[in-house]
Amino acid sequence: MRNNIDLNTFQLKTYSIELPFTRLKLGVDNVRLDVYISSEFRKVTERFVFELIIKYAEASAPFIINPEINWFKETSEFQRLCNEVLTDGVNTAKSESEIQIDFLAQTALVKMLTEEIQNQYNEAIQHCKNVIRKQELSHQMEETLKLREEVASIIQRKNQIVRNVGAELFEYFIEVQNDVNKLRTSNFGDDATLPEELFSNPILQMATHSDGFFMIENYVLMGHRLEDPVNYNTLINLLTAFLSRKDRQPEKNKAPAAEKYHESLKNYITPFDTRTDGWIKHVDNIDKLFNYFESQEGLKQLKKGNATSREIQTAKKAVRKQKRLLNQIFKLISKEKMISGIVAAYLIQPIFERYCPPLSPQECLQYLVVPKARKNTVRKLKRFKKYFGKSFPLSPLRRTIRSVQTTSRTAQKKYLLQFLRDFSKYHRDLRNNLLIRESSDSINITTDEKIINLSRSNHCLYEFKLSHEDVFDKKPIINHAVLKADVRGSSTIIKQMKSKKLNPASNFSLNFFEPISKILSLYGAVKIFIEGDAIILSIFEHQDTPGRWYSVSRACGLAINILMIVRKYNKTNRKKGLPILELGVGVGFSNGSPTFFYDDENQIMISPAINDADQLSRCDKTLRQHLSKEKLPFNVYELQPALNPETSILFNHKTLRYNVKGIQLSLKGFKKLSKEIHLKRLECQMPEVGNEMLIFYTGKFPTTAGNFQRLIIREAFIPEISIKDLSTIGQTENKYYEVCTNQKIYEHVKKTIKEP
């Protein structure tokens, strides 16, 4: 076989998921990880899953415990508590700076839910048997017989019931996951989220993943036995060897299968190839490699359009490569005599339910493509005719046999293409199921108080619980952020309002202080000091409450909102002909508890973060007069004047600060922010700023209401300037940080990171 197609030209994507627990501490048995999940959540889940079992069992009235169940209420309660438990996992992972704790929480919940479906199915069967026993005592034999037949049907339909319950339960779980993923991304970045199909995997609920009914419903009919017409093991080895052979990766990185291609196909034994396996599990790669039918249609559209000759030639080459690859894999599978089975696996779908039961779907498939199996199948159908009270005409099967035999080669290739897609999805889910099972086996979800206490005392118990409101503020403060807004122009406004016989107190209260007070709870902030020309607010972080450890990010978000309130206030003042307020905001941080003392009943707080915020909120008058005339793209600038010993005594501070309608964040604050949320670093140019390369950091944080707000932080070096004309002399190594509020910057950054 010619090997002149380089797979690297197809830009194949690889599929890889890991659930590592290697950095976590083993439990008391030194084998598994001890996990405790909220007992309240477990009880709610048990009740909810039991009701789902009864629902999908289509149980009659005597078996129904809660006939007036409110499904919306039950579902909402399950999802609310599930959200809290998963959020606790994220917060614990954040507090320990260990993402594997979050992976553990997700895997433990999947294990709990999967096991609960089986447990509650058994509970439901036992419940039904208890109902029948009570019915027997009443000597209503006819009714008892009906109930026994119903339970027998529920037992016979176990796989279907369990599948349906699992599908609905994990649909709710995935909705919760998608919500909590916003918090994960905020804290750990995009790579911290696990793909949805890991949890929507239908194989998770199956005791046996090769059940024919299950395969037809979710994938395509294939088996794992040698006698099955379409054999999974043969196909995965064949496809792995085929792609390994085509892979032109350097020899040292290639699997041994590439060199022993023909032997691999002959013996169906291929060493595991991580690279190739990752390609097979990515379903979209199938079309990239083999779907020349779709590419031909695309080529036709290019010819009809205004495509260049180069684009058309590139498209033609892609079609030729895909066609050659499909022909090659088609030839290999044909040699294994599986093409007819693959075609039949799709043609059987409209008719198999006529014969199953008593036949299994695999027996139907064998009848279509294995002539030797037909006599036994016919005998079986005749034998079961009297038990089922109906005949099983063979004419639909015979017509399907003719359809399989007369399927054109082109149609066979199209069926093969569809099969490879379904096979890829099944292989991916099979591997994901194995990953979940292996990870689950390493977890001990314990409800035994002795083990819980022993594990907890040895600091090896991972607990994922529900939140407890109003407990956090009783725990000691471990650090805090301070926001100071330096309000300028309030005295002038008060004077002018009084001259116009207007009430400045009510004006400030209704339009300024009250709107600010209303949003404090959204950021978990408290008032430290408020006057007409100064506002000092603080956000505390308390011990053992990692879900609230966003003091700096929330202070920055609060500062942005305060500036928005001031803009609205100024808009009103302009209409009244009054001067506007000017604000400069500083955000400081202290890695420790503040000091409190009391003057009578008034609490007074002392903290170095207040001093930092005070400095950052100020604006040098000379700098303000000079720079306010210019159209500046940013609101904060920090400059270092070049001073000699004689002139240095004229300056109280080493740097000059310009902060007009801006927010400056301290260096300590920025470092803390980097730990609070995942910040993405961007280097870019903005035409309205000039040719200077700008550095931004961006990320999202959660408010106390659970909404997410984006922050953009500008990092810049402090330039050294001449005090005569403020011209730049050089660049220092020191940096300063501005919380950006310019909408154009937000639009530019969102476009850069491709956020909708």
At 27-45, the pLDDT tens digits run: 989 999 999 999 999 999 9
Co-location of 228 and 180 in the same domain: no
pLDDT of 19 strictly over 80: yes
Segment 89-104, tens digit of pLDDT: 999 998 888 999 999 9
Which has more pLDDT, 600 or 426?
Answer: 426
CA distance 591 to 447: 37
Angle at 216 between CA 211 and CA 221, to 5 degrees: 75
Residue 476 token pair: 């000691």
Q: Alpha carbon of 6 to those of 12, 245, 286, 391: distances in Å? A: 11, 10, 15, 55
pLDDT recorded at residue 306: 79
CA distance 415 to 347: 10
| For range 179-190, the mean pLDDT | 90
With both helix axes pointing from N to C terminus, report the angle between 361-369 and 339-347 in degrees, rounded to the nearest 10: 130
pLDDT recorded at residue 468: 58
Co-location of 281 and 154 in the same domain: no
pLDDT recorded at residue 389: 66
Domain boundary pick from 386, 421, 436: 436
Co-location of 641 and 698 in the same domain: yes
Question: Which uninterrupted H or E stretch holds 470?
Answer: none
pLDDT recorded at residue 624: 84
User: What's 580's DSSP letter?
Assistant: P
Which has more pLDDT, 493 or 424?
Answer: 424
Segment 562-579, tens digit of pLDDT: 999 988 888 887 887 777
Segment 714-729, tens digit of pLDDT: 999 999 888 777 778 8
pLDDT recorded at residue 244: 86
Co-location of 321 and 182 in the same domain: no
pLDDT of 267 strictly over 50: no
**Cβ neighbours of residue 20 closer than 8 Å, sequence gap 6 or more:** 100, 103
| DSSP strand pairing (477-488 vs 582-590) | antiparallel
414 burial level (CB within 10 Å; 0-12, 13-18, 19+): middle
pLDDT of 648 strictly over 80: no
Co-location of 191 and 230 in the same domain: no
Question: Does residue 462 form part of some domain?
Answer: no
pLDDT recorded at residue 297: 86
Question: Does residue 446 form part of some domain?
Answer: no
User: What confidence tier does 654 reach under pLDDT thresholds 50, 70, 90?
Assistant: confident
pLDDT recorded at residue 643: 67
Q: The domain spanning residue 536 has which CATH number?
A: 3.30.70.1230
Question: Does residue 485 form part of some domain?
Answer: yes
pLDDT of 169 strictly over 90: yes
Question: Does residue 460 form part of some domain?
Answer: no
Whether residue 32 contacts residue 462, with contact meaning beta carbons closer than 8 Å, is answered with no
Whether residue 564 contacts residue 449, with contact meaning beta carbons closer than 8 Å, is answered with no
| For range 587-602, the mean pLDDT | 81
**Range from 425-429, 543-547, 722-726 carrying the lowest mean pLDDT:** 722-726
Co-location of 196 and 252 in the same domain: no
Co-location of 323 and 386 in the same domain: yes
Cβ atoms within 10 Å of 690's Cβ, excluding its own: 10
Question: Does residue 442 form part of some domain?
Answer: no
Percent of the chain with pLDDT over 70: 91
pLDDT recorded at residue 652: 53
Dihedral sign computed on CA atoms, order 611, 612, 613, 614: positive
Q: Which residues on adjacent β-strands are paired with residue 731?
A: 719
Domain boundary pick from 152, 167, 200: 200
Tallying the residues shown for the chain, one arrives at 756
Segment 308-343, tens digit of pLDDT: 888 888 888 888 888 999 999 999 999 988 999 999
Angle at 644 between CA 643 and CA 650, to 5 degrees: 65
Cβ atoms within 10 Å of 452's Cβ, excluding its own: 16
Q: Residue 54 belongs to what domain range?
A: 35-200
Co-location of 581 and 698 in the same domain: yes
pLDDT of 496 strictly over 70: yes
Q: What's the mean per-residue pLDDT of the chain?
A: 85
Give the chain's domain count: 3
Co-location of 691 and 654 in the same domain: yes
Q: What share of the chain is helix, strand, coil (3-state, %, to 5)?
A: 55, 15, 30
Segment 666-708, tens digit of pLDDT: 999 999 999 999 999 998 888 776 678 899 999 999 998 888 9
| For range 113-135, the mean pLDDT | 90
Which has more pLDDT, 473 or 219?
Answer: 219
User: What confidence tier does 472 reach under pLDDT thresholds 50, 70, 90?
Assistant: low
Percent of the chain with pLDDT over 90: 40
Dihedral sign computed on CA atoms, order 350, 351, 357, 360: negative
**Range from 168-177, 181-190, 323-332, 501-510 carrying the lowest mean pLDDT:** 501-510
Question: Does residue 215 form part of some domain?
Answer: no
| For range 255-273, the mean pLDDT | 46
What is the distance between the terminal CA atoms of the chain, rounded to a whole angstrom?
47
Co-location of 281 and 196 in the same domain: no
pLDDT of 264 strictly over 70: no
Question: Does residue 157 form part of some domain?
Answer: yes
Co-location of 186 and 264 in the same domain: no
Question: Does residue 451 form part of some domain?
Answer: no
**Cβ neighbours of residue 310 closer than 8 Å, sequence gap 6 or more:** none
Domain boundary pick from 167, 200, 233: 200
User: What confidence tier does 307 reach under pLDDT thresholds 50, 70, 90?
Assistant: confident
pLDDT recorded at residue 205: 78
Co-location of 40 and 84 in the same domain: yes
SS3 500: coil
User: What confidence tier does 207 reach under pLDDT thresholds 50, 70, 90?
Assistant: low
